């Protein structure tokens, strides 16, 4: 019990320091960018006396350390400030747009896991042969080609030319507003409401942007899986299993793949976090009303409260998924208990 208590305290201290560092970075970003928060609220033609009054109301006349302390206190209370762009609390805006990003990133990481892990295993098993070369080339393309370019090409080919994919957005205009948002995830809300037609329309809209993001995830997961599998296939226990007469499929998919579950969990978790924060360009290209598009629009409008609030959410997602992967270690690897 004492050991568990010490581990829990150490974990809490580590998380607290990480969150504090994240808050410090976002605070400093908000102070060093060449955007005056007072002018962002009042406009460029504000009178000097009005400018000074608002500056005092915003606490910008206080020392920097006091401003940071106030900022930390506000964030801990869930107050991320007011959005200049929407005139609503930033936290309210983020809760409204984040489910769209969650839906897109989740679909993409499912594709990444479903295709990337088998592709990486096959590449390792056939090392140096044509399946390995093909998978490595496809993975290199997925890492090298900018995601916004792939999105534009996907719209040009599958939407404009072949008419196989719908246009930008989460739904056709006809279906917007017909389903009451419960979770914020349109596909789930449509199923909960029994609207199968809207569900299929939402799924149709989701396929192309999820495939674009999923291709990047497939490339990363396949490359890491191949690397892990090559290391395991050289181990003595694999030779022993083959000498015992176990089938090659069991040796590869049961023993070798089972032993890379722990590092692969971290890879998938980090890939998921990257998709959640890296879908900015994809959401912009596909007019997907998620966190990425919200941050981009806020940045173009000099709405730093919204930009920093979105940055905090992205950082929190990384911290949370890292903690989750650490907890999964203890389930997947008995030696970590």
pLDDT single digits (tens) 195-225: 889 899 999 999 999 998 888 889 889 999 9
Residues 233 and 303 sit within 8 Å (Cβ to Cβ): no
Residue-wise pLDDT for 66-120, tens only, equals: 888 888 888 888 888 888 778 788 888 888 888 888 899 899 999 999 999 999 9
8 Å CB contact between 198 and 178? yes
The domain 97-336 having CATH identifier 2.60.40.2470: the answer here is no
Q: Spell out the residues 6+ positions from residue 146 whose beta carbon is closer than 8 angstroms to its own.
A: 281
Kindly state the tokens that stand for 87: 């005139």
pTM of the model: 0.83
Q: What are 329-334's contacts with CB under 8 Å, separation 24+? A: 329/262, 329/265, 332/261, 332/262, 332/265, 333/261, 333/262
Could you tell me the residue ranges of all domains in the chain?
A: 2-76, 97-336
CA quadruple 52, 58, 60, 62: dihedral, nearest 10 = 110
Helix, strand, or coil (residue 194): coil
- Whether the CB-CB separation of 295 and 306 falls below 8 Å is answered with yes
Report whether 189 contacts 182 (CB < 8 A).
yes
Of 137, 109, 135, 139, nearest to 124 (Cα)?
135
For 89, phi then psi, to 5°, come to -60, 140
| Exposure b/e, 49-83, CB count within 10 A at least 16 = b | eeeeebbeeeeeeeeeeebbeebeeebeeeebbbb
What is the rounded CA–CA span in Å between residue 124 and residue 116? 12
In angstroms, rounded to a whole number, what is the distance separating the alpha carbons of residues 116 and 88? 41
pLDDT interval class at 333 (50, 70, 90): low
pLDDT of 40 reads 66
Pair 105, 276: CB distance under 8 Å: yes
Is the Cβ–Cβ distance between 119 and 135 less than 8 Å? yes
CA–CA distance, 172 with 166 (Å, rounded to integer): 8
pLDDT of residue 166: 85
Rg, C-alpha atoms of the chain: 24
Q: CB-based contacts of 127: which residues, under 8 Å, 6+ apart?
A: 230
Query: Tokens representing 195?
Result: 């609207």
Q: Helices 2-32 and 304-332 meet at what angle, rounded to 10?
A: 160
pLDDT number for residue 29? 76
* 272-288 tens-digit pLDDT: 888 876 677 788 888 88
The answer to whether residue 164 scores a pLDDT higher than 70 is yes
Q: How confident is the model at residue 332 (pLDDT cuts 50, 70, 90)?
A: low
pLDDT of residue 115: 93
The residue with greater pLDDT, 154 or 303, is 154
pLDDT, tens digit, 9 for 90 and up, residues 38-81: 766 666 676 777 777 877 777 777 787 888 888 888 888 888 88
Mean pLDDT of 250-255: 86
pLDDT band at 335, cuts 50/70/90? low
Task: Please report the pLDDT score of residue 110 as a whole number.
Answer: 92
Using an 8 Å Cβ cutoff, are 178 and 199 in contact?
Answer: no
User: In this structure, are residues 186 and 179 in contact, taking their beta carbons and an 8 Å threshold?
Assistant: yes
DSSP assignment string, 292-313: HHHHHHHHHTT-HHHHHHHHHH
What span, in angstroms and rounded, lies between the C-alpha atoms of 108 and 82?
A: 32
Residue whose C-alpha is closest to residue 72's, from 80, 84, 83: 80
d(CA 98, CA 284): 14
């Amino acid at each position: 019990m004492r050991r568990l208590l010490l581990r829990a305290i150490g974990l809490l201290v580590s998380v607290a320091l990480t969150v504090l560092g994240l808050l410090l970075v976002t605070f400093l970003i908000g102070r060093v960018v060449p955007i005056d928060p007072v002018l962002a609220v009042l406009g460029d033609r504000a009178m000097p006396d009005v400018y000074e009054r608002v500056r005092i109301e915003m606490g910008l006349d206080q020392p920097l350390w006091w401003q940071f302390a106030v900022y930390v206190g506000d964030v801990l209370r869930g107050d991320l400030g007011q959005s200049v762009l929407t005139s609503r609390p930033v936290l309210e805006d983020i809760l409204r747009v984040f489910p769209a990003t969650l839906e897109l990133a989740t679909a993409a990481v499912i594709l990444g896991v479903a295709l990337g892990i088998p592709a990486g295993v096959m590449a390792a098993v056939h090392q140096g042969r044509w399946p390995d070369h093909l998978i490595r080339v496809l993975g290199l393309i997925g890492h090298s080609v900018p995601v916004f370019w792939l999105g534009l090409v996907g719209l040009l080919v599958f939407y404009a030319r072949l008419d196989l994919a719908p246009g930008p957005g989460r739904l056709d205009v006809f279906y917007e507003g017909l389903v009451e948002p419960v979770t914020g995830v349109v596909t789930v809300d449509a199923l909960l409401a029994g609207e199968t037609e809207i569900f299929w329309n939402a799924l149709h809209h989701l396929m192309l942007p999820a495939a674009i993001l999923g291709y990047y995830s497939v490339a990363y997961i396949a490359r890491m899986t191949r690397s892990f599998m090559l290391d395991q296939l050289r181990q003595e226990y694999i030779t022993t299993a083959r000498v015992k007469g176990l089938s090659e499929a069991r040796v590869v998919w049961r023993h070798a793949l089972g032993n890379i579950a722990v590092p692969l969990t971290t890879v998938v978790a980090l890939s998921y976090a990257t998709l959640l924060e890296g879908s900015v360009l994809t959401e912009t290209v596909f007019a997907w009303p998620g966190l990425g598009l919200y941050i981009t629009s806020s940045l173009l409008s000099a709405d730093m409260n919204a930009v920093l609030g979105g940055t905090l959410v992205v950082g929190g997602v990384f911290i949370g998924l890292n903690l989750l992967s650490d907890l999964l270690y203890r389930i997947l690897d008995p030696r970590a208990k």
